[in-house]
Structures are given as structure tokens and as C-alpha cells.
Amino acid sequence: MAFAEKLIAIRRAHHLTQEQLAAKLFVTRQAVSRWERGEVTPGIDMMKLIAAVTGEPLPHLLEMPEHYCQSCGMILTPDDCGTDATGASADHYCKWCYDHGKYTYDTTMEAMIEDCAPRLAQNTGMSLDEAVSLMGAVLPQLERWHTVQENEERYGAEARARYGDEAIDAAVTEKTKIVAMAEVSNVLGRLNPVAKAIAAAHRVGAVAVIDAAQSAPHMAIDVQKMDADFLAFSGHKMLGPMGIGVLYGKKELLEAMPPFLSGGEMISFVSRDGQEYAPLPHKFEAGTVNAAGAAGLHAAIEYINSIGFEVIEAREAALTKLAFDAMQKIPGVHIIGGKIAEEDKGILTFSVEGVHPHDIAAILDADGVNVRAGNHCAQPLLDHLCTGATARASLAFYNSAADVERFINSLSTIRERMGYGR
């Protein structure tokens, strides 16, 4: 059946007029009419939206052949088939992905897309963006990638053991010069053992550097009690402007460090023979400072302090538990990281079985819910979890129970809207 005929049948099965379907797809009625007359065929991204709106599986809309590789999505011919453990032909995998009952190379789904999309584009005449989008929609539905969640759970347990107290003691040696750790993981929402890391660093004379970008907006931080040598956080996660942040450093270390940039403001005296740097903190403020950004960040910090971290932590903990408990009840939704809500500091990273994170984000966005999808600037961690991308919901004190309810209601429909049924 041609796409035009298929679209008409699907629309009528859902008792939709052209106008009603167009409204759901955010296009004109004329566009739907042209598709149904066979004058044009919608692009890949629109096909994905049609699948999400109608519940029709994307491969059916695309008229994909019955047999294709369950690893890379390539159309299979008898000559292209891989082999099972006995050496016999395996009709569900290609020979480039599968040989003698095993995958021929370890990879993530994202890496597979990056590797195969250019060839798909070349062979079909698609643009590279269209090829990436198509593979991003199809691959999560394939057999190989159904095991991703199992890997997440297995490797997640391994990671928790790997980065425990004993592991930190073993990793920090007399050769160690710097120990760096994020206080809260921006991927998993886990509170990391920074006190242990700082103590281990100081035991061998190393410098401890703490990334507080994910923790500073959500919990009280006492750098002196923590005994961090350096601590940094960004402005925009503190409700402040972009392009501004904070670096704390112990005075004795900052005074001993030479500036890495030169410019006005940082010089107290200069001559042909040398210069004298201005007192801290101006010593490291080369050039024109971002005064507007600093003023905005100052206002944001004052606002957060006016609410109080006791209030912030209590509210965010309650919202996180509300969302966590509800997510656990949705079939096909898997929370990555903590096993209980109390282990997550306002971060809920998750996957939906068979659905690419970018499609998860697009569907939620259409329902007025904003999440982030991608590698979260943490590719090594996601590679370790055997996935190239996840979706991430971030909760803050300004969210409400109604926001969580909207998120859960939308999330619970995603698999159905992608054609998997109820």
C-alpha cells in the first residue's frame, strides 16, 4: 500500500478529518491533502510525528521490508545474513554486525547511527540529517537495543562499587596531583562522596577540585567545612545569566598561582622590566569583567538564599519522590541510577523501551513538558552504561505537583503514541 493510501486508512480509522489530523501535526489541511493525493511525501521527522500522533509504528509508515538487520536496520538479502553460533545463516542480523552468534563489535546505538547514517544517506538520496533522524527512530525498536536497559542496570551496579570508598583510596596514590569530582552527577543525580575524595587528596598532598554546578542550586555548601581547594559552579543553573560563574579557591593557592591571561584590571603596576599583579581576586580578572552577568548572578544568589535551602531541599525531595514513584509504575519506563527516590537530587534520568531519547523529548515538548535528551556532556559515563543518550527530567523548587502530573501523564503515553499499543 502506498503511503497516501495508508495515511487515508489510518486517519479514517482514528475518525479524524483532514483538518483534525492537521491540527495534531501542526500543519495545514492543504498539506495533509497533498500527502493523501500522493503529490508529496512528508519528511522523516514528520513521519515520526505522524507515528506518534496515530500510534502507527514508524516502520509500517515507511513501508520497510519485513527482513532487516536487528542491529543496524539494513535491508537483508540472503547474501548479507550473519551466522548463528553453529555457523548457520541468521536471518535477523547482517554479516557486518553478527558472526557466529556474537556481535562483531561493541558499540553504542548513537555510535552505530553516526557510523551508518552517511552510507544510508548516500544510498537513498536522503540528507544526512534525515538519515540520522530515521535511524534514531528505527534502531531503538530493534532486537539488539532492547538489551540496553539490562546493561544499564548491570553496569550501574558495577559503577557504584567501582567508585566507593575503597576504590577512591586505591585510585589516589603518591603520584596523584589533582583529585576532581562532581558533588552531584548531572546525569544520575547521585550525591558523590566528595568528603572522601578531598580527604584522600590531602593525604597525599594533592589538590581537590569540586564541580558544584549541579549541587549549588539545590543544597547548602560550606567550602571551609568541606575543605575543598577549589570549587566551581555556573550561573545559569543558579537562575542567573549565562556566561558567568563562580570559582572559589583557597587564598594561599591563588596567591601562589600565576595568571593564565593578561589584560587590564589584573595589573597593579607595569613597567618595561616587569609588572605587579593586583590583589586577589583582581589578579585573575583579565580584561573587561562581565559586570552585568555578575550583577545578575548576585541577584539570583540572593533570591535563592531568601527562600532558604531547607525549604528548597524539602520541596525538591518531595517532588522527586512524587515523580520517581509514578515513573516506576509506567510500563517500559526505566529510571537510570538510583533505586530509591532519596538517592536522586532532583535529577531523573530515564529511558523508554523502544523509543529514542530525542523522540521522547519531542513528544514531551509537544505536551508542554521540557526535558533534556542527549549525552549530557558525559559521554564516557553513557558509554559505560552501553547507551549513547538518555532523557533527563530536572526538578527544582519552582516546580509544582501539577508539573509532575503533566510530565507523568505525557510520559505514560509515549510508547502507545510510538505504535507499541497500550
Positions marked catalytic: 377
For residues 296 and 290, give the distance between their C-alpha atoms in angstroms, rounded to a whole number.
10
* Pairing between β-strand 207-211 and β-strand 230-234 as defined by DSSP bridges: parallel
Alpha carbon 302 to its chain's center? 30
Hey, is 199 helix, strand or coil?
helix
For residues 175 and 352, give the distance between their C-alpha atoms in angstroms, rounded to a whole number.
43
Of 288, 242, 237, the residue nearest 261 (C-alpha): 288
For residues 419 and 269, give the distance between their C-alpha atoms in angstroms, rounded to a whole number.
70
Alpha carbon 176 to its chain's center? 31
Helix (H) or strand (E) holding 392: strand 390-394
Of 122, 121, 135, 143, the residue nearest 69 (C-alpha): 143
* CB neighbour list of residue 162: distance below 8 Å, 6 or more residues apart: none
Of 140, 90, 85, 153, the residue nearest 112 (C-alpha): 140
H helices within 227-353, ranges in order? 251-256, 291-307, 309-328
Of 296, 319, 320, 175, the residue nearest 241 (C-alpha): 296
